[in-house]
Structure 1
């Protein structure tokens, strides 16, 4: 083989490898852009849900609203003091949804045993003019915590609505099991 022929083969090989490398880079960039677009859509949806959650809580006279998808705790001023509440691990279940209610006491004292009420359903309309529909409720009880500050996880079974249908969860009527442990109203 002649040197010119070897140079020609080497040049063709380099062009071919270069084209493959560019295709791989283009494919990788498209994949990264797709991932970024998906993350931006999720963040936009989270921002909408957080704005709705804040608006609902600003109007609420009893309890605190938690909207799936907001991924942000809400604060409830209760007979036990200020509590931060959030939802996590919302998953489908045969008869509806399952979720974990996280309650965190803001004081430096353990929480006493208490009970409360959880309601869930769908929201129709706008944040300014809305209606709660398909609302269901249940009581829950929590034993006294041993740790301070308290972090409590309560598993919830939210029947009747899949995670996609679940519009809100509202927690209210938090009361200590022993009324003498209630804090004075502020």
Structure 2
């Protein structure tokens, strides 16, 4: 009787341990599936933003659009050369949004000093039929760079719109600047 009792006890323990191990594995798999779903949603959102950014830039005759969330530079052929621009460090600020505009020259020459117009706001409608709303603008100035290839990072203060509301930043009207006297 003792052997039978021990066999039942051992079998019960093995079943319990197997069930616990399966529960742990199931819980771990659920966490991994949840993480993969979040990653897929982020990639899907980024893909939509990138598609919209590319479509807006294909139609644009007045500069280049940068859409938060696309995480991809946009190219612009300007008076100061071919440029790649991107937005980063988008965050809330007391009266709006702050971001960093990075501009990279594609040539082996340093970027000259320049001024440009920045517009920002929201986009309503579809990529084919859209309207810019609550648009605000500001003029920015960038100093000449001394290194080549060069890039310049410009901190932006985009008032009146939260990061969640920010639909676009449009960079346009680039004018070569006057070099300061040395």
Sort the TM-score into its range (normalised by shorter chain): over 0.9
Residue 141 of structure 2 is aligned to residue 136 of structure 1: no
Partner residue of 1:154? 154
Q: Matches of 1:102 and 1:48 in 2, distance apart?
A: 22
Secondary structure of 1:124's counterpart equals strand
2:111–2:151 CA contact under 8 A, matched in 1: no
Quote the offset at 1:2 in angstroms.
3.0
Quote the offset at 1:174 in angstroms.
1.6
Residue 140 of structure 2 is aligned to residue 120 of structure 1: no
Residue 72 of structure 2 is aligned to residue 80 of structure 1: no
Partner residue of 1:110? 110
Give runs of aligned pairs for residues 168-183 of structure 1, distance below 5 A.
Answer: 168-178=168-178
Show CA shifts across 1:37-87 (max 9, x none).
Answer: 111111111111111111111111111000111111100111110000011
Partner residue of 2:23? 23
Quote the offset at 1:5 in angstroms.
2.7
Q: Matches of 1:9 and 1:174 in 2, distance apart?
A: 82
Secondary structure of 1:57's counterpart equals helix
Q: Matches of 1:117 and 1:110 in 2, distance apart?
A: 21
Q: Which runs of 5+ in 1 are unaligned?
A: 180-186
Q: Matches of 1:113 and 1:2 in 2, distance apart?
A: 92
Secondary structure of 2:51's counterpart equals helix
Secondary structure of 2:76's counterpart equals strand
Q: Matches of 2:142 and 2:9 in 1, distance apart?
A: 77
Q: Matches of 1:104 and 1:11 in 2, distance apart?
A: 69
| Structure 1 moving runs of 4+ over 4 Å | none
Q: Matches of 2:151 and 2:115 in 1, distance apart?
A: 15
* TM-score normalised by structure 1 residue count: 0.91
Aligned length: 179
Give runs of aligned pairs for residues 40-119 of structure 1, distance below 5 A.
Answer: 40-119=40-119
* TM-score normalised by structure 2 residue count: 0.93
